[in-house]
Amino acid sequence: MEDRPYIAFRRRVKEAGPLWVILILSACVRLYYSYHPLISDEVFNLVTIERLARGEDSGEYFFRHPPLYLFSSLLGYSVLGNYPQIPSYISIIFSVLSLVPLYRITKQLFDKNAALWASVFLSVMPVNIAYSSWIKQDAMLLFFFLWGLYFYLSERYLRAGTAIGIALLVKEFALFLFPLAFLITALAKREEGSDRCKFKWAGWLQMAVVAFIISSWWYLLFGTAFYQVTGDALIGGNISELRWHFPAWFYIKNVPYDLSYPILILFLIGVVFLIKEIYHRSIFSKYMIPILWILVFYLPLSFITVKAPW
């Protein structure tokens, strides 16, 4: 009896062994590709971080997105010194660690083997490698977003709201979890009973309230840039960019380069099997969630001309 906790601990360590290998290899790949020419947004973020580190005025660009990534980089400066690589390394750390919630989500929906393969594919996906070392908010956003989705699927709604509230303080795109979670709940099996459905809707509301409490202060006090860009996107204020972006076509033609051709082939095969499983099982099942993920993100973004490449 006394050695059971030890045996359970050893079993968990053994089961996590392959994931640790993936995490280490993922970190090595990202560090190797971390030295790259900076794009304009990275330069603006780096200048803002260094201004804050010197105690100067933050500047207008500080308010372009919520501040958590910039403050995390500033903390790194205060601990390690004024090194411009620190914000990039912070992105790499969160990019690597985002494989953990991805693994848990996939294991919960499918099985351990699928979770390991999903982690491998994300760790070597060209677009993820490219974004993972950017001096931008995206890697940190993905980490908290995936934890929010994992907790929501696990029906731990307070934790889901906390994770998404933090994600909303990283970047506005965390808002996409709310329609995703809404569709997951709305399409859930009715056979679970009315009481069960009420519990899940109450959980969605609980998540939203917690996220609002954590993050609303930024959007109420400093969200002018967010409202302006969102308004331009929704009312066509930047419709002149349509000729340049062609958002829907932009995403489609870049998929082979974003995923790589081997992963793209496996992705298309996976979509076929997902649709097959959904057809044979029910209108909604756990297999529907990856399809909903694609629809919630790519359909709206394909009609928004502002910042289409991201």
- For residues 79 and 34, what is the distance between their CA atoms, to the nearest angstrom? 21
Task: Please spell the DSSP secondary structure of 178-234, one letter per residue.
Answer: HHHHHHHHHTS-GGG-HHHHHHHHHHHHHHHHHHHHHHHHHHHHH-HHHHHHHHHHH
86 and 76 in contact (C-beta within 8 Å)?
yes
Find all residues with CB under 8 Å of 30, minimum gap 6, and list them: 92, 95, 96, 129, 132, 133
| Per-residue pLDDT tens over the stretch 34-80 | 888 888 889 999 999 999 998 888 888 888 899 999 999 999 998 99
pLDDT tens-digit profile of 159-216? 999 999 999 999 999 999 999 999 999 887 655 666 677 778 999 999 999 999 999 9
Query: In angstroms, what CA-CA distances link 78 with 72, 84, 86, 116, 139?
Result: 10, 12, 11, 37, 21
Residue with tokens 């909303």: 168
pTM of the model: 0.89
* Whole-number pLDDT of residue 153: 94
Cβ neighbours for 283, distance < 8 A, ≥ 6 positions apart: 187
The winner for highest mean pLDDT among 25-34, 251-260, 286-295 is 25-34
Q: Which amino acid is it at 80?
A: L
Rounded CA separation 199/201 (Å): 6
